Structure 1
Amino acid sequence: MCCTIATVTKGAAGTPRRYRSALRARQVEQTRQEVLDAAVDLFARNGWARTTVGAIATEAGVAVETVYSGFGSKKALLRAAMDVAIVGDADPVPLVEREPYRKLSAEPPDRRLRGAIAIAGQIYSGPVSRLWRALNEAAAGDPEVAQWCTELEAGRRTTMSEMLELVYGRQADDRTVDIVWGLVSIETYTKFCIECGWTTEQWQDWAVEAVQLFAGRP
């Protein structure tokens, strides 16, 4: 009887500890997400130099030390904010492996191209273009951030190559990938939609026509 009671007591005592541990993990993740949301907003609105870690902490409702303990530095937080702005969350899942892109494989080839361009337009129309400007601002004085920019662009080129293979059913040659990488870029979106006043839909229509001009119709 004593052994039975002792076993039950031990199990009962263990449950709250596991619950508190899970609750703490959820709280840490929630805090991290709130810091990232604040970083995306402030870096996009104010750029690199005018955004401080203190302002991000205040916006997120946490201590400055919490920001540093979670991300290490202001520039690391900017990089994380860019990643979140591109895919919508902090999960380490590439864009081409996410549900919107995977669904395109079930569409006819011509709709795959328009769908892929629409995904790019949706991303660019958010805070990404302004965060990219903040990253380049930081890169001007920091070689590590400059390297990050190079890596992000290399990753975007890989995404363009995978998009073309999805749409056309074959691997595109390097020249075609280079051209599409240049056409379907944050820079063209910024030029047309922010500087010239185009809508995102107008940019998407132009991008589809431009890709078809160089890569052919699917």
Structure 2
Amino acid sequence: MGPTVNGAPPRSRSYDARRRQEAAEEARKRVLASSRALFLAQGYGRTTIAAIARAAGVSKEFIYKGFGGKPGLVRAIFEQSLLGAGGPPAEERSDRAKATTTDPRELMEQFGRFIAEISPLGSPVYLLIRDAAASGDQDMLGLLRDVDDERYQRMLHNARQVLVRGFLRPGLTVDEVADVFFMCTSPELYETLVLKRGWSAERFGTFMARTLAANLLPDR
């Protein structure tokens, strides 16, 4: 063991700990990237922890310790998707937009851009969960219920925030507004228009912005 200064551990020890933390975080990122690629290419049932570990260059034990198995991995890649494409988390940017934007139609356009950013990341993972749940997998059935409830709670939060700003058509209730947001962020709608009909994500986001404005804002 190296010398100490005033009883403090050697500086190299903290450096080594930081290097280990950085290496573990890089390994975690590789696991998430490999999991996403394999799950979406092969499906939930056919993808194994062993295959993910090989692709990510880690041990199976690392995955089980960090994620608890396949259900935990799917939840982790879904939650990662909701952060958006980079920078501050999408929810943080959305809350800032709702608090600071003064033009209600511009706010709906921003919502559309958030939908265009997040849907290509999150919707395929949601559809993976849905399909695995439909096959009878109980873990995925529970996860499907969880992510649907979490998305609705987020839309309820959005509804309360925009109602407070006084932007919306008179007479709308918070539940009605939340339902419109819930519909416009539906992975099934993304599946229909983008995956099946070939729309671009940008076109889909613009359509959702117009749908939000048509259903929530006063007539001009």
Q: Which letter maps to 1:64?
A: K
CA contact (8 A) 1:110 1:167 kept: no
1:137 has 2:131 as partner: yes
Partner of 1:192: 193
Deviations 1:11-60 (A, max 9, x none): 4x522222212221221122112111111222122221222212211211
Residue aligned with 1:48, SS: coil
Moved more, 30-39 or 166-175: 166-175
Which residue matches 1:161?
156
Q: Percent identity?
A: 25
Amino acid at match of 1:139: A
Aligned to 1:22: 18
Comparing 55-64 and 172-181, the one that deviates more = 172-181
Q: Take 1:15 and 1:204, find their aligned partners in 2: how far apart are those partners?
A: 51
Say whether the 8 Å CA contact 1:47–1:130 is kept in structure 2. Answer: no
Tell me the equivalent position of 1:99: 93
RMSD across aligned positions (CA): 2.7
Q: Match for 1:152: what amino acid?
A: V
Which has more helix, going by share of residues? 1
Identify the range of structure 1 (44-53 vs 187-196) with the bigger mean alpha-carbon deviation.
44-53
Q: What's 1:3 paired with?
A: none
> What residue is the counterpart of 2:169 in the other structure?
none
Q: Which moved more, 1:153-162 or 1:183-192?
A: 153-162
Structure 2 residue corresponding to 1:62, chosen from 54, 58, 77: 58
- Tell me the distance in 2 between the aligned counterparts of 1:8 and 1:147: 53
Task: Extract unaligned runs of 5+ from structure 2.
Answer: 167-171
Q: Could you tell me whether the CA contact under 8 Å between 1:47 and 1:131 is conserved in 2?
A: no
Mapped contact 2:194–2:201 kept (Cα < 8 A): yes
Return closer, same or farther for 1:176/1:167 CA change in 2, 3 Å cut-off: closer
- Aligned 1:70-89 pairs, distance under 5 A: 70-88=66-84
- The answer as to whether partners of 1:160 and 1:177 remain within 8 angstroms in 2 is yes
Q: Which amino acid aligns with 2:75?
A: R
Whole-angstrom CA distance in 1 between matches of 2:60 and 2:4: 44
In the alignment, the residues of structure 1 paired with residue 4 and residue 74 of structure 2 have an alpha-carbon distance, to the nearest angstrom, of 50
Cα 1:217–1:118 change in 2 (3 A) is farther
Query: What is the one-letter code of the residue matched to 2:31?
Result: V
Contact 1:139-1:149 at 8 Å conserved across structures = yes
User: Residue type of the partner of 1:174?
Assistant: D
Structure 1 distance, partners of 2:154, 2:69, is: 28
Structure 1 position 84, deviation (Å): 0.9
The 3 A distance-change label for structure 1 pair 153 and 192 is: same
Say if 1:123 and 1:35 are closer, same or farther in 2 by CA, change over 3 A. Answer: same
1:192 Cα deviation after fit: 0.6
What TM-score, normalized by structure 1, do the two folds share? 0.82
Secondary structure in structure 2 of the residue aligned to 1:87: coil
Which residue of 1 is the match for residue 111 of structure 2?
116
Deviations along 1:101-123, one digit per CA (max 9) or x if unpaired, are 42453222221111112112211
Once the two structures are superposed, residues 122-151 of structure 1 have per-residue CA deviations (whole angstroms, 9 ceiling, x without a partner) of: 11123x222112212332323332122112
Runs of 5+ in structure 1 lacking a partner?
Answer: 1-5
**C-alpha distance in structure 2 between counterparts of 1:94 and 1:150, whole Å:** 23
Q: Which residue of 2 aligns with 1:37?
A: 33
